[in-house]
Amino acid sequence: MSIPGQDFRQAARWKSVALYVGFALYFVSFFLPAVDQWKGWDCAWLALEYWHDDKVSPLVLFGGLINPLGVLYLLVSALNAASKVRAYLAVAILFCIPLTWFALDRMNVQVKVGHFVWIAGVLLMLLPVISGITQLPGAKWLVVASLVVFSWLGIPKAISRTMHAPTERDDFYYVVAWNFHEPSVCRKIDPHAIGREDQRDDHDLTYMQSDCFRNLAAMLRAPSLCDNIRSAGIDRVVGSLIAKWNCRRQRYTWGTASPADGQSFVKMMQAVGYSEERLSGLINQRDPGNSIHRGKPRGEDYWDYFWYLASYDKTSARSDFLTRVMELK
């Protein structure tokens, strides 16, 4: 049979061990490689100094705040101050940790052993007061606020796991649809393909197919095309209503509809039936004085002919090209 006083002393002993071991790991982590080529000390300073830089996710500020909050927590613990104060500090630190991970993920950096040792040390230091967090006034609202923030950041991240980079074919469809003003070609784009970077103004990804419909909706003054828009962000939860609304408000396009890669574009043009021999014949037929008959067509020749079909040709050649694109498997 255990004695209550002994149980209390044993629990207090284990809490002290967790605090000391956590502090040891926390201290050591500053001398270990943490992110890319930087050690823990470097990261602690960089997070506070450069969080507002346009090449850095502003969420790194929360990672930088963990250290001063952690030091304050240790001082309060050393002074044996009220457990409620320590619990509030623990809440603030626990809130900052996931936001730090979101920042690291957005910046696509390589996380190394120092970061994991740092997090383990912080969590062990907080272990003695974790149970007291539920006793804080307004604890329920703290949980609700945290869930809202993490959902706002986490849902787009979860959606991104279902997306993948566009293929050569997706990019080709995108360029064809934009330049030929053909919404039907947008439907050929893989619905899970990620849109180009120039089509988004924040860290959230876009769908290439949705970008295609959105820009054509503006160019053709056809707001009904916005019904095909899907958001890859938090707006997805409510049926992408905000993304569709923004689409209907758009009056211009931005970015480019040029091929992402010249060689891939030539490959896709050949896949729809425009071999070197056929392209040479078509160009010489259109312009008998063209010097292309002296050699094989180059990448720019493919693009020039494509641009001619999209912008100037009103004959069956244009319709034939679009038919070939639509039949491409």
What does the pLDDT look like over 255-292, one tens digit per residue?
668 998 999 999 999 999 999 888 888 887 776 665 55
Residue 132, classified by CB atoms within 10 Å of its CB into exposed (0-12), middle (13-18) or buried (19+), is: middle
Q: Which two tokens stand for residue 156?
A: 């787009």
pTM for this prediction: 0.74
**Neighbour-count burial for 311-329, b at 16+ CB within 10 Å, e otherwise:** eeeeeeebeebbeebeebe
Predicted pLDDT of residue 195: 94
d(CA 240, CA 127): 41
Query: Which residues, 6+ apart, have CB-to-CB distance to 3 below 8 Å?
Result: none
Our CA angle for 113, 152, 238, nearest 5°, is: 145
d(CA 114, CA 36): 11
The chain-wide mean pLDDT, for the chain, equals 87
Q: Tell me if residue 249 falls in helix, strand or coil.
A: helix
d(CA 121, CA 22): 4
For residue 7, pLDDT beyond 60: no
